[in-house]
A and B are shown apart, each in its own frame.
Chain A
Amino acid sequence: MADAPTTEADGPTAPALDERAQQVLARLEAELGDALVEHGSALGDLVVRVRPDAWRRAAEACRQALDCDFLSFVSGIDWMPTPVVEEDAGGDTSSPVQPREMTFGVAGSAGRLQVFAHVESTYAPHWAVTLKTDVDEAAPRLESWVPVYAGADWHERETWEMYGVVFDGHPSLRHLYLPAEFEGHPLRKDFPLLARDVKPWPGLVDVEPMPGESEAGETAGEGEDAS
């Protein structure tokens, strides 16, 4: 569909797809037709976004038409920015500040949650492709890849417990890493990292000012300037 990748414009100009990636794309387009929503390039690697209802068909196409017999990973991504509880919660400036508005990466997204996967070929010329698909935020569901790639089993279990995406047709969707009674989906952006909340940030300037000098401590905030 849309040929121009909708990467954020301020990034470095993404290198165009090389010849190998072009071939992969051509084959995928032939296999999937209009189920292939968008494609883009992540530093020259092909990233395609497929319609959610074609998720398993995309896997079959990769396995059969592209010889991509090797499953690298299946995982999810939450594009929502981390909600800020208070403006200066503990004054912690050590964590990276991400943009506040929701932006999407290579090949775009329809909403907050996406599932993405990478498959490779063990045969020369070692074709590889990253597949993305959108899942509904309210009721994330997707077809399982297990019938196509047996190794998707654990990856999908992980995605399920970390993002709450339910995979239809998965043999036993149960907790992989976390205890069975765990609630919540830790890798979603609205799941707080408690380790950063329970302890005050030690980076706060704690230099007693000289008598007569103003409080507020901006005097010694030379952290950035000093070096």
Chain B
Amino acid sequence: MKREVKGMVGGLGVTLKTMLRPAVTVQYPHEREDPAPRARGVIALKEENCTVCMLCARSCPDWCIYIEGHKEQRPPRREGGRPRSVSLLDRFDIDYALCMYCGICVEVCPFDALFWSPEYEYSEHHIADLLHDKEKLGEWMATVPEPEPLELGAEKAKK
């Protein structure tokens, strides 16, 4: 009987104690908690680094990256060298309605053209608007954080 009474009263104590403590809620539109710097919010594109190699589009498990490009002649880097041909982006779309946020494209990119940004406020009224083109993806570059320092005992980054 004593245990029962203790159980009944103990529960009331827990709720009362919680009531007297400040709430944990964050009033979202007025105040916001920043996600972790590593959070996979949205993918940013650094257009000048892209060589249209299609690696990201190919390794995407959801087939949600669409790339088109064209080639152009550029003056040689060194005097007397051969003119270079570079591939330029015409189209780079990511369909966030399909994207699973796995990050494989960011990882496979050999030229550091894709980055994760923790930004998350890009919901839309129409599902078609979730297709971000290269201008929009380029805008996210401003929100990409610097890489964090690592915990003790980690190997130094090779780059």
Contact = CB atoms under 8 A, between A and B. Distances in A.
Classify A-B as touching or not with yes or no (CB < 8 A).
Answer: yes
Interface of A: 93-94, 199, 201-210, 213, 219-220, 222-223, 226-227
B54 A220 contact: yes
Contacts of A203: 54, 57-58, 60, 63
Nearest to A201: B63
Contact of B53 (A202, A208, A222): A222
B54 A205 contact: yes
Interface residues of B, number: 26
B55 interface: yes
A4 B51 CA distance: 52
B52 to A, nearest CB: 5
B57 A226 contact: no
B63 A220 contact: no
B67 A202 contact: yes
Contacts of A201: 63
Most buried by A among B54, B59, B71, B87: B54
A223 B85 contact: no
B110 A207 contact: no
Contacts of B64: 202
B55 A227 contact: yes
B66 interface: yes
Interface in B37-63: 51-55, 57-60, 63
Interface of chain A: mostly helix, strand, loop or mixed: loop
A94 B59 contact: yes
Contacts, number: 64
Contacts of B67: 202, 206
Contact of A207 (B52, B55, B65): B52
B76 to A, nearest CB: 15
B70 interface: yes
B97 interface: no
B71 A223 contact: no
B136 to A, nearest CB: 18
B55 A219 contact: no
Contacts of A220: 52-54, 69, 71, 87
B110 A226 contact: yes
A223 to B, nearest CB: 5
A225 to B, nearest CB: 9
A210 B72 CA distance: 6
Closest 10 CB pairs of A and B: A203-B58, A208-B70, A227-B110, A207-B69, A210-B71, A226-B53, A206-B68, A203-B57, A202-B66, A202-B57
A220 B63 CA distance: 19
A47 to B, nearest CB: 30
17 contacts: A201-B63, A202-B63, A202-B67, A203-B58, A206-B67, A206-B68, A207-B70, A208-B68, A208-B70, A208-B71, A209-B70, A209-B71, A210-B72, A213-B71, A220-B87, A222-B53, A226-B53
